[in-house]
Every structure is written in C-alpha cells, then in structure tokens.
A and B are shown apart, each in its own frame.
Chain A
Amino acid sequence: DQQVKQNSPSLSVQEGRISILNCDYTNSMFDYFLWYKKYPAEGPTFLISISSIKDKNEDGRFTVFLNKSAKHLSLHIVPSQPGDSAVYFCAAKGAGTASKLTFGTGTRLQVTL
C-alpha cells in the first residue's frame, strides 16, 4: 500500500520556467510533509517542509502548497535552473515528536537549457 504517491516519474522543464512537482497521500494521520532532492550516488538533501496546519510555505525559489482536503501537495520551483535537475522525493510524517518518514517513489526533474 503506497501511502505517498508521486505519479509522474519524470518531468522536463525549460530553464527559467516553473517546475511543478506533485504528490498525493492517503493517510490522514500525516501531519508534516517534506521535500527532498537527490543527486545520483548521494543521500537525499532536505529542501522544504510544511506542517498540516498551513497551506503554503515559501523559501526562496521553492514553494510548497498543501491541500489537506484533497490530500495533495505540490512543490513549485521558479525560476528553474539546470542545477535543479535531480530526483525529488515527497515524504510524510505522522504525529509525534520524531517518527519515520514515508516516501514517494520520486520524480526525476530535468531542466533543459
């Protein structure tokens, strides 16, 4: 049972344009959501997160939107840069001070010149 889903395995965007990566979840007990970026042969790097009590969080070029009623979140990157090319993982965490992350299968973003 895949509780966190990233239905687009890949996405190609032109440099300077907006990249939108989507993520859906099924478990209503998730209360915190995170996005990680991963380059080949490296560990995931934390990018941005959002609590379930918010619907938007922004950090520089990265904005995460959360729609709790639809159990959907998205990551917007604007403007996209070639260095953003990587695999992006959506992750969710249940309530509690520290608990496991449930990851989606990832979306490979390619930013072209």
Chain B
Amino acid sequence: NAGVMQNPRHLVRRRGQEARLRCSPMKGHSHVYWYRQLPEEGLKFMVYLQKENIIDESGMPKERFSAEFPKEGPSILRIQQVVRGDSAAYFCASSPGSSGTYNEQFFGPGTRLTVL
C-alpha cells in the first residue's frame, strides 16, 4: 500500500546546474500534480499532468521549468539552470483517474532543493 513516492528527498545543486525531481503516484492514480513551497509560505500549484499529457501548467514559470508524465515510469519535474530562488520544497500529489474519489489529493514527502 505504497503512497506517493518522491526522490531524491534532498537535492543540492550549484547555480546553473539542472535539477530533476521524480514522483511515482499511488497505485491506480493517473493524475499527478506538482506544488512548490517557499520558506514560510503555503503550497503553490505548478502543473497538473495525466499520463503523457499536460493538463494545466498555469503555475509553472515559463522558462527553465518543464514537467512530464510518460506512459511508463515516474513523473519528472525538471529545472534547468537553477538559481538561488528555486530553493524550495517541491511536493508531488496524485489522485485517482476514472474511478474513485476525484477531489482528494495525496502528497508525497517532498524533495527539498537547495541551490548554492
């Protein structure tokens, strides 16, 4: 009965490097959401994906950030050329697709990105 899994839990990058964050949704869930939490703030929506499709990316910065959820494998949030302002906790959540409860989203433990 594994929950949402994220790795790595902690990631340190130098300015200009790339960061790749992975998320495996709960079994049977086909909707994945990425949120970012800056220090002392609430969670902010970034992107919502279903298998092989981006449904809503209204919260994602236009440059340097991208996300995918391939047919096989985990969802990936990719940040290119990281800057210090990207330092935050990144949370992935999942919810069921065609059946079950649509409204609740279940969160992973997060990836804490530190940019030096």
Contact = CB atoms under 8 A, between A and B. Distances in A.
B41 interface: yes
Interface of B: 4, 6, 31, 33, 35, 41-45, 48, 56, 58-59, 91, 93, 95, 97, 102-110, 112
Interface stretch (A54-62, A67-75, A78-86, A94-102): A94-102
B103 A106 contact: no
Contacts, number: 64
Nearest to A46: B104
Contact of A105 (B41, B56, B59, B103): B41
B110 A43 contact: yes
B56 A32 contact: no
Given A42-B109, A106-B42, A98 B102 contact: yes
Given A89-B42, A103-B43, A105-B41, A98 B107 contact: no
Given A99-B48, A101-B43, 8 more contacts: A34-B104, A46-B104, A98-B31, A98-B48, A98-B97, A103-B42, A104-B42, A105-B42
